[in-house]
Amino acid sequence: MSSSHQTSKYFDTGATTTLPRRSTRANLASQSYKPEPSDDDVTFGSDIEDAVKPAASSPPPKGAVRRITAKRQRASTLSSPPAKKKIKPPPDSDSSLSSLSDSDLSSPESKPTAKSKPAPKPRLPKSLQPTTTKPPENWDRVYTLAKQMRLPGGAASNAAVDTMGCERLALATASPLDRRLHTLVSLMLSSQTKDTVNAVAMRRLQTELPPCTPDAEPGLNLANLLAVDPVVLNELIGKVGFHNNKTKYLKQAAEILRDKFSGDIPDTIEGMMSLPGVGPKMAHLCMAADNGWGRVEGIGVDVHVHRITNLWGWQKSKTPEETRKALESWLPKEKWKEINWLLVGLGQAVCLPVGRRCGECEVGLEGLCRAADRVKVNEGRRRRKDMGREVVEKTEVVEKKEEVGAVVKKEEEDGPVDFTTTTTKTEAIAVKDEVKTERAESTDRLRTSYTRIRRSARTAPA
**Under 8 Å CB-to-CB from 379, ≥6 apart: which residues?**
359, 449, 453
| 200 and 226 inside one domain | yes
In a domain, residue 36? The reply is no
Q: Pick from 129-143, 156-170, 387-401 the range whose average pLDDT is largest.
A: 156-170
Residue 399 CA to residue 387 CA, distance in Å, equals 18
The CATH number of the domain holding residue 285 is 1.10.340.30
The residue from 338, 372, 406 where one domain ends is 372
What sign results for the dihedral spanned by CA atoms 11, 17, 18, 20?
positive
Q: Which member of 34, 86, 121, 281 is catalytic?
A: 281
**81-93, pLDDT tens digit by residue?**
555 555 555 555 4
Global pTM reads 0.59
| 293 and 181 inside one domain | yes
| 163 and 274 inside one domain | yes
Has residue 260 got a pLDDT over 90?
A: yes
When pLDDT is cut at 50, 70 and 90, the band that residue 252 belongs to is very high
**65-112, pLDDT tens digit by residue?**
666 677 677 766 655 555 555 555 555 544 444 444 444 444 545 455
**372-381, pLDDT tens digit by residue?**
999 999 999 9
In a domain, residue 57? The reply is no
More confident residue, 215 or 50: 215
Q: What pLDDT was estimated at residue 120?
A: 72
The residue from 243, 270, 297 where one domain ends is 297
Mean pLDDT computed over 177-199? 96
How many helices (H) and strands (E) are present in the chain, helices listed first?
21, 0
Residues paired with 42 in a beta bridge: 52
**How many distinct structural domains can be found in the chain?**
3
| 245 and 311 inside one domain | no
Has residue 439 got a pLDDT over 90?
A: no
| 286 and 182 inside one domain | yes
The residue from 297, 318, 353 where one domain ends is 297
Phi, psi of 281 (to 5 degrees): -60, -50
Q: Which domain holds residue 317?
A: 130-156+298-372
In a domain, residue 125? The reply is no
| 399 and 314 inside one domain | no
| 358 and 428 inside one domain | no
More confident residue, 454 or 89: 454
| 174 and 136 inside one domain | no
Residue 281 CA to residue 298 CA, distance in Å, equals 9
- Identify whether 281 is a catalytic site residue: yes
Residue 94 CA to residue 99 CA, distance in Å, equals 9
| 364 and 402 inside one domain | no
| 166 and 280 inside one domain | yes
